[in-house]
Amino acid sequence: MKALSPRPGGPAVAEDPADAPTRLVPADRVELLRSMLLMRAIEARALALYKQGKVPGSFYDGFGQEAVSVGAAFAMGPRDRLCPLHRDLGAHLVRGVATERVLAQYMGRASGVTRGRDGNVHFGDPAVGVIGMVSMLPDMMCVATGMAMAFKLRGEPRVALTWCGDGATSRGDFHEAMNWAGVQRLPVVFVLENNQFAYSTPLAKQFAVDPVERARVYGFPGVTVDGNDVEAVFEAVHAARERAVAGDGPTLIEAVTMRMHGHAAHDDMRYVPPELLVEWAARDPIERQERRVAAAGVDVAALRAAVDEEVAAAAEAALAAPMPDPAEAASGVFATSEPQPLGDGRAPWSGFA
Amino acid sequence: MATMTYLEAISDALREALRTDERVFVMGEDVGAFGGAFKVTDGFVEEFGEARVIDTPLAESAIVGTAVGAAVVGMRPVCEMQFADFISCGFDQLVNVAGKTHYRFGLAVPIVVRLPSGGGFSGGPFHSQSPEAWFMHAPGIKVLAPSTPEDAKGLLTAAIRDPNPVVFMEHKHLYRRVKGEVPAGSYETPMTARIASEGTDLTVIAYGAMVHAALGATEHLDADVEVLDLRSLVPLDVDMILASVAKTSKVVIVDEANETCAAGAQVAALIAEHAFEQLDGPIRRIAAPDVPIPFSPPLEQAVLPSVERIRDACRDLLDY
């Protein structure tokens, strides 16, 4: 696996490195690109809607990080379970959440995934086996560890996958989850989405030792991967999933990437050196996958057009959807019936077919 | 019916749940080979194996967080905090993850967190707290606090079968001090209040260990006193509280917890708002002052509500 410097200011990638042998068939490579294009188009549209006052609160996106959530989710089977973060919209899309419901979610509409009860990417659709995140990071690492514990207890060949950011590595739940998963050798995959900044705090103020190195001391491997190469992320997470299913325990994967937008829509990123953005723009994960797919003869322009059309239609439908009924604001705090099991998600990788 | 201690009744409920529901497992610090700090799970690992009686790392946040994860994929975890005080380290997972999940996207989180709580034996500031009110203020979490062995077993069974996060306050000072008849087999106690002693002159409202203090304080009073055992703080049995006040017109509310914003404060507010016309005297509250629970016996006894303080409050109010 190719290691990248996790620190800002690393060398720009002028040319794409040669691809490693892959488990991906041509249709997989197109689907990876399509999912990333969809994520970016949805977030671009949502940002415009935010500026028009149609998205309440603030707006968080994963611009430039699309390969991390798409590549990782693509390696998961239908019965695996996921806890994505706020820059991981791609994971929801891979699992099968409809574009219209995502845009309605951002706008607080009744047809959004949380029906207006929570905003932006704070959602998870139980029907596709995804648990929504909370803002306290990385709480979901403990939750994913617990899901893996249940899988192991029941002897099921399934995996839990979650993501965390570079900032979240400083909180105790990072340690508690990693240690617990290591002690019990659980089938869980942690993806550390290293996007260089936690809000405005750079890596140098976050940790003295690269957190991928911590995996070893918890008793399992930590690997670093180019987080802007969707196929490399897929391969790393696929390998981690194989390990987990085989009973060999967890893996920490550091996906090195760059947050190309502010922490949220209000953030002018004055703390980011402009040359860093220029450098990372040359590594754009979508352009990179487009070059691969175009080289295989696929009409990338047509793919883009189809995605844009889908997002435009979904935005129209979401804008026409009703706001939630205020009379329902106090309902549903408690469950009143036997819990429904989580549904299985879409698992589009050809290897699962 | 067998006679059991409060602790034995809790063990019995857990054992029945493990025997009858394969989704149930217990986990916590030292709950396995050692049987738990208070021996609630003594012998469990021999009967149910290490896979279902899990000794965890010392990690309260992960205990609650992993329970949430296991619950959403179909398990019924029962976690033990070694002492209720340590839930402060797992507070975030309970309040932000467990408590809000069903409201946010309709996903139920059936977990039970057992909290050995309360003082009275020189546990000091970190082994004596009664933190139930923290969770009453956090939406989406049920809070139970039994006072008798029969209710401890029935409420724990109800908690394990409930589709929501449930905080189960089990009072350490009752563990071996209180005995009673406990039905065999599985049964659920409703999450409602209970009249521990019927009367018409005055109502004392309490829960947990304070029910026994209230019964002791009012036993020899020259009055017909009703003692209401809340049993459940969330949901709170407002109807039964108001019905008792309507009958007696005078009310003393007892908390072992620190006074400000305690469970009893909420009960007092409900009575003031909904039963003002029925009152024939001021609502009286007895609680621990707002100090950490001290270690040394004379200091601790000065802080925890005593039988004498409750009796004096009852006498004052009866004379009002």
The confidence score (pLDDT) of residue A15 equals: 62
| Pairwise CB contact (< 8 Å): A123 & B51 | no
Smallest Cβ–Cβ distance between A146 and the set B66, B102, B108 belongs to B66
- The position carrying tokens 């706008």 is A107
- Cβ-Cβ contacts under 8 Å for B143 (sequence gap 6 or more): B132, B135, B136, B166, B167, B169, B232, B233, B234
CA atoms within 13 A on the CB side of A353: 9
Q: Distance from A177 to chain B by nearest Cα, in Å?
A: 6
pLDDT in tens, A286-336: 999 999 999 999 999 999 999 999 999 999 999 999 999 999 999 999 999
Count of A–B CB contacts within 8 Å?
A: 140
ipTM above 0.90, yes or no: yes
Mean pLDDT of A325-351: 97
Whether the predicted pLDDT of A10 surpasses 70: no
Q: Distance from B269 to chain A by nearest Cα, in Å?
A: 21
Tokens read off for A321: 């959807």
Mean pLDDT of A8-30: 71
Which amino acid belongs to residue A132?
G
pLDDT in tens, B102-118: 999 999 999 999 999 99
Whether the predicted pLDDT of A1 surpasses 80: no
B window 73-102, beta carbon within 8 A of A? 73-75, 77, 92-93, 96-97, 100-102
Give the whole-angstrom CA distance, residue A123 versus residue A104. Answer: 12
Q: Is B65 on the interface with A (CB under 8 A)?
A: yes
- Of B132, B177, B160, the closest CA to residue B38 belongs to B177
The confidence score (pLDDT) of residue A2 equals: 37
| Pairwise CB contact (< 8 Å): A132 & B101 | yes
Q: How confident is the model at residue B134 (pLDDT cuts 50, 70, 90)?
A: very high
Q: Is B163 on the interface with A (CB under 8 A)?
A: yes
Give the whole-angstrom CA distance, residue A31 versus residue A35. Answer: 6
| Residue B213 backbone phi and psi in degrees, to 5 | -65, -40
Three-state secondary structure of chain B: CEEEEHHHHHHHHHHHHHHHCCCEEEEECCCCCCCCCCCCCCCHHHHHCCCCEEECCCCHHHHHHHHHHHHHCCCEEEEECCCHHHHHHHHHHHHHHHCCHHHHHCCCCCCEEEEEECCCCCCCCCCCCCCHHHHHCCCCCEEECCCCHHHHHHHHHHHHHCCCCEEEEEEHHHCCCCEEEECCCCCCCCCCCEEEECCCCEEEEECCHHHHHHHHHHCCCCCCEEEEECCEEECCCHHHHHHHHHHHCCEEEEEEEECCCCHHHHHHHHHHHHCHHHCCCCCEEEEECCCCCCCCHHHHHHHCCCHHHHHHHHHHHHHC
What percent of chain A is modeled with pLDDT above 70? 95
What ranges in chain A are assigned the alpha helix state H?
26-51, 66-74, 89-95, 99-106, 139-154, 172-183, 214-217, 230-245, 274-281, 285-295, 300-320
* Residues of A labelled catalytic: 259, 263, 271
Q: Is B232 on the interface with A (CB under 8 A)?
A: no
Q: Distance from B37 to chain A by nearest Cα, in Å?
A: 21
Q: Are A108 and A56 in contact (CB under 8 A)?
A: yes
A314 burial (CB, 10 Å; 0-12 / 13-18 / 19+) is buried
Mean pLDDT of A154-159: 98
Give the whole-angstrom CA distance, residue A63 versus residue A36. Answer: 10
Smallest Cβ–Cβ distance between A139 and the set B70, B96, B106 belongs to B96
Residues of A in contact with B165 (CB under 8 A): none
The confidence score (pLDDT) of residue A19 equals: 74
Residues of B in contact with A81 (CB under 8 A): 73
Whether the predicted pLDDT of A22 surpasses 90: no
Which amino acid belongs to residue A252?
L
Q: Is A118 on the interface with B (CB under 8 A)?
A: yes
A288 burial (CB, 10 Å; 0-12 / 13-18 / 19+) is buried
The confidence score (pLDDT) of residue B33 equals: 96
The confidence score (pLDDT) of residue A280 equals: 98
Q: Distance from B113 to chain A by nearest Cα, in Å?
A: 15
Whether the predicted pLDDT of A20 surpasses 80: no
pLDDT in tens, A85-117: 999 999 999 999 999 999 999 999 999 999 999
In B, minimum Cα distance to A117 occurs at: B104
What percent of chain B is modeled with pLDDT above 90? 100
Smallest Cβ–Cβ distance between B164 and the set A148, A173, A335 belongs to A335
Q: How confident is the model at residue A186 (pLDDT cuts 50, 70, 90)?
A: very high
Whether the predicted pLDDT of A4 surpasses 80: no
Q: How confident is the model at residue A3 (pLDDT cuts 50, 70, 90)?
A: very low
The confidence score (pLDDT) of residue A96 equals: 98
| Cα separations in angstroms, B28 against B37, B64, B112, B233 | 10, 10, 12, 24
